[in-house]
Chain A
Amino acid sequence: MIKIKNYVFGTIDKFKYPFIARLIPDNPDRKIGITYYFLVEIEEKYKNYIPVYAHELVHVVQFWRNPIKHIWYKDIKFNKFYELDIESEAYALQILVDFDFDLNLISNSVIESVAKNIKNTKSYRLNDILLDVIKARLWYYIKKWKNENKHLAYKITLTAHNLNSALVKR
């Protein structure tokens, strides 16, 4: 990982999945972390909260897996089912890495926070259906991170810690 001024350049798995990261000032209108394709921005207030780093780095991996599909569905078609899928994958790893989080306690509040992250979910009826879908997707991805994608999950967690150390002087 290389730091130039306020920016950190790095990769997740050796030379795969490159990204740029920086801290942004606190802003009530924005989320705690945002990823634009491969640019990761983390709010100053949450700079020591590792699960957010993991969450945003998952989005970087998702972009590099298939950039054209990612841009097409996310930013051109605004496909809410694609967005639901990528958000639940990111939240699944975030939950796994969170020290204070017990997997047996995946409550509706967590699932609702995933739903809030997905655009175009204003209709209450749609939200109601979505909550069940999100719950199922979350469990699917939690199992996937623990088994098939174990290696990548480990690499992302390590990168999250490294990135935190690079951005925040201790």
Chain B
Amino acid sequence: MYKEDKHIAMSLFKKDYYEIRFTEKVFNNPQEALNYVSKIEDILPEDADMSVVKTPLGYQIEVRGWLTKEDINKIKYILEG
């Protein structure tokens, strides 16, 4: 019983997958989004990565990783130009 509990606690706190966010800005084509990806990549932490995804709203940028509030603000700043 104790072992089971420990296992659950471990997987609850072990970060074996990333947090994912979509940035708010919606693009009409993937190329437009890719231009921003290269700009944002420079300011992201090393373990984070990005890709362009298709959502029902259009094309959006997906950021994968554990981001701080500062990181998110920086991304917003770039996207808003």
Binding site for B on A (CB under 8 A): 1-5, 50, 93, 96-99, 145-146, 150, 153-154, 157-158, 161-162, 165-166, 169-170
What range describes how many residues of B lie at the interface?
Answer: 10 to 19
B55 at the interface (CB under 8 A from A): yes
B1 at the interface (CB under 8 A from A): no
Contact check, B11 vs A3: say whether CB atoms are below 8 A apart: yes
17 A–B pairs (Cβ distance < 8 Å), ordered by A: A4-B8, A96-B54, A96-B56, A97-B54, A99-B30, A99-B54, A150-B57, A154-B55, A154-B56, A157-B22, A157-B55, A158-B22, A161-B53, A165-B18, A170-B17, A170-B18, A170-B64
- What's the dominant secondary structure at chain A's contact region? helix
B62 at the interface (CB under 8 A from A): yes
A-B pairs under 8 A by CB, number: 57
Contact check, A97 vs B20: say whether CB atoms are below 8 A apart: no
B46 at the interface (CB under 8 A from A): no
Contact check, B8 vs A93: say whether CB atoms are below 8 A apart: no
* Known contacts A96-B54, A97-B54; 13 further A-B pairs (Cβ under 8 A): A4-B11, A96-B56, A97-B56, A99-B53, A153-B57, A157-B55, A157-B56, A158-B22, A161-B22, A161-B53, A161-B62, A162-B20, A165-B20
